[in-house]
Structure 1
Amino acid sequence: MLHYRTQGFQGCAVKYSPFFDNRLAVASSANFGLVGNGRLHILELTANGIQPLKSFTTQDSLYDTAWSELHENQVLAASGDGSIKLFDCTANDFPISSWKEHGREVFSVNWNPVAKDRFCSSSWDGTVRVWSPHRPQSLLTLPTHSCTYSASFCPHNPDLISCVTSDSYVRVFDLRTPASASNHLVTQIPIHASASGPGMLGQPGVLATAGVDRAIRTFDIRAPQQGPLATMLGHEYAVRKVAWSPHLSNVLLSASYDMTCRVWSDRSEAGPGGDMDVMRAGPGSTVLGAELGRMGRHTEFVTGIDWCLFGSEGWCASVGWDENLYVWDVRASMT
């Protein structure tokens, strides 16, 4: 397990580079994101541990980050002042581009991994916006009418965006549909919780959500009326982030305010924690997912997680309010 201290700044999000297996970006904030500066850390994994490559200090808190899918040295940062900034690791300390249309904090940014010429953002102002890095204004605004915690493009379809909001719904927008009165909204699924964490598409058509009720649920957006496919229980406090493994379609990672990261199987595949027969229990049935392991090194809220896209299927990174970044192998934590 590798460790790095983001001294004076509490981590909010961590992302592996899609170009380099040894490069990470960490979005962080002073004073737990309530007031003060933010800092974007660009870090490299070396033979001598985790070493800083570059850092950018901002006037407001940073809540999320996303690597460009077009340029290996460029990375986005989502800011508390409603702006999105694009930094270049090889340039000076100022952003090379900046966008500001959101009326409140930008809480997530996500770069489209298929149509690489666009990215999206979500904000507490009740909107999701789609952007091009080459245009000064947003391409599209998708209203959610509720504080929007997270939005992400589907890794299998460049025109699908999922998001989760404070009204406990996961919404799916299809940009191929006519805007009309629905503003591209094609699916709206109640999660039955008072607030929700990130929604992310993993297997084609299946997404995972989590929230303050401590439960992780998976849904099939092709059959939203059937309710959750699987429910994963075990966290003691609200779940802040979930992330599907890029290597194993039934495995996901979670980060929680209970100061742990946990590895789960939704039991949809044979493999680690999988059981194909369980998923055939019948229409409308909900499977109880399996906890495969946990990591408890953090001493404060765990707020960010990400999987490494390269190499063997176990490496990931986590950050938290304890100012610590850990890079670790989930297989070492499996029971």
Structure 2
Amino acid sequence: MNRPPPAVLSTPGFPHYGLAWSPFHSNRVALASSANYGLVGNGRLHLVSVGPGPGGVPGLSIDKFYETQDGLYDVAWSEIHENQLVSASGDGSLKLWDVMINDLPIRAWHEHTREVFSVDWSNINKDQFVSSSWDGTVKLWTPDRPRSMTTIHAHQSCVYQAAFSPHQPDLIATCSTDGTVKIFDLRAPAYTPSGPTNNNFTAPLTAAALTVPASGTEVLSLDWNKYRPFVLASAGVDKAIKVWDCRMVKLGPEAAQNPAVGGACETQLMGHELAVRKIQWSPHRADMIASAGYDMTCRVYVLNIPSSVVRV
């Protein structure tokens, strides 16, 4: 069987850090890009369409792009407005864009003091998104407010990613250079916004509901399983992908000192020769996960999960 060649889109001078499919349009993709691999220079937010090319072969085309003063590291589509998306920038800012407007963002926020490395829009509380930064904080936002709703001092060092649980709207998972994965519960009284503005902006909150000692080195990426609540995967510099069940309590001296420490490693997946930069569970299967590494390979793993555990 002859398969058509893959569609290729080139953006010279602007390597990509993040990609997001529109939740409303199956043929619309956003790319967060940075000049000079994000080390120095400006950025671009590309809007890309997927459609039939010559001979009916799928093709990629750039509909438009937005220039930014600093590199972009991530992008997320709004879950409530089909034409809006938010970008995360190296200068510590977040910008909300509307694809129907050509030049400027419709809103901008600048509270982070270092690079914003990830942004995630909640698919349950659809008016909220979360950002994580190298300044060690995670911030909760809504497009209608001029300031963040809540600031969480999640880690003492860089927070590479923060992601909402797809099952529990008030749970956020984070990963960091400190080798841990943490889960924060926004239902805790400390995280409840007390007014129209963020009164905790100058006094970040720190209490994690659970801390998973995921690695002896940096954890660069995480993702929640879409079908198994409280199960997530982490990956990073140790070249391993680890699947955690956060309902399992860790026993031993570490747990005795800190009862919020937990998580049992179900599976460890090896194969990458260098650090794993990104992982993502399949939205269609509970036992499939994909990864991308600094060894310039992408890999797909199928886990051996008992059928009694998988509820699809």
TM-score normalised by the chain length of structure 1: 0.79
What pairs with 1:202-217 in structure 2 (closer than 5 Å)?
A: 202=225, 203-217=228-242
Regions of 4+ moved over 6 Å: none
Match of 1:148 among 159, 165, 170: 159
Runs of 5+ unmatched residues, structure 1: 271-275, 280-335
Corresponding residue for residue 274 of structure 2: 237
Give % identity.
48
Q: What is the distance in 1 between the residues matched to 2:306 and 2:169?
A: 25
Question: Is the Cα contact below 8 Å between 2:274 and 2:293 reproduced in 1?
Answer: yes
Larger relative contact order (Cα-Cα within 8 Å, sequence gap ≥ 6): 1
Match of 2:293 among 241, 246, 256: 256
Corresponding residue for residue 185 of structure 1: 208
Question: Is the Cα contact below 8 Å between 2:151 and 2:205 reproduced in 1?
Answer: no
1:199 aligns with 2:222: yes
Higher mean C-alpha deviation, range 27-36 or range 218-227: 218-227
Q: CA deviation at 1:125?
A: 0.1
What pairs with 1:111-122 in structure 2 (closer than 5 Å)?
A: 111-122=121-132
SS in 2 for 1:200: strand
Q: What is the distance in 1 between the residues matched to 2:69 and 2:46?
A: 15
Question: Is the Cα contact below 8 Å between 1:175 and 1:184 reproduced in 2?
Answer: no
Amino acid at match of 1:158: P
> For each residue in 1:111-152, what CA deviation from the matched residue of structure 2 results, as whole angstroms up to 9, or x when unmatched?
000000100000000000000110010000111222100000
SS in 2 for 1:3: coil
1:127 aligns with 2:137: yes
- Provide the aligned C-alpha RMSD in A: 1.7
Q: CA deviation at 1:269?
A: 4.7
Q: What is the distance in 2 between the residues matched to 1:6 and 1:163?
A: 31
Q: What is the distance in 2 between the residues matched to 1:19 and 1:80?
A: 28
Q: CA deviation at 1:8?
A: 1.2
What pairs with 1:161-180 in structure 2 (closer than 5 Å)?
A: 161-179=172-190
What pairs with 1:1-335 in structure 2 (closer than 5 Å)?
A: 1-48=6-53, 49-144=59-154, 145-179=156-190, 183-202=206-225, 203-225=228-250, 227-269=264-306
SS in 1 for 2:217: coil
Amino acid at match of 1:248: R
Q: CA deviation at 1:7?
A: 1.7
Number of corresponding residues: 273
Q: CA deviation at 1:227?
A: 2.6
> For each residue in 1:192-247, what CA deviation from the matched residue of structure 2 results, as whole angstroms up to 9, or x when unmatched?
23101212111211000000010000111111525311100000000000001000
Q: CA deviation at 1:73?
A: 0.9
Q: What is the distance in 2 between the residues matched to 1:44 and 1:95?
A: 20
SS in 1 for 2:36: helix
> For each residue in 1:224-274, what CA deviation from the matched residue of structure 2 results, as whole angstroms up to 9, or x when unmatched?
52531110000000000000100001111101000011001232255xxxx
SS in 2 for 1:179: helix
Q: What is the distance in 2 between the residues matched to 1:116 and 1:44?
A: 24
Q: 1:78 to 1:97 in 2, by over 3 A?
A: same
Q: What is the distance in 1 between the residues matched to 2:283 and 2:265?
A: 22
Runs of 5+ unmatched residues, structure 2: 1-5, 54-58, 192-203, 251-262
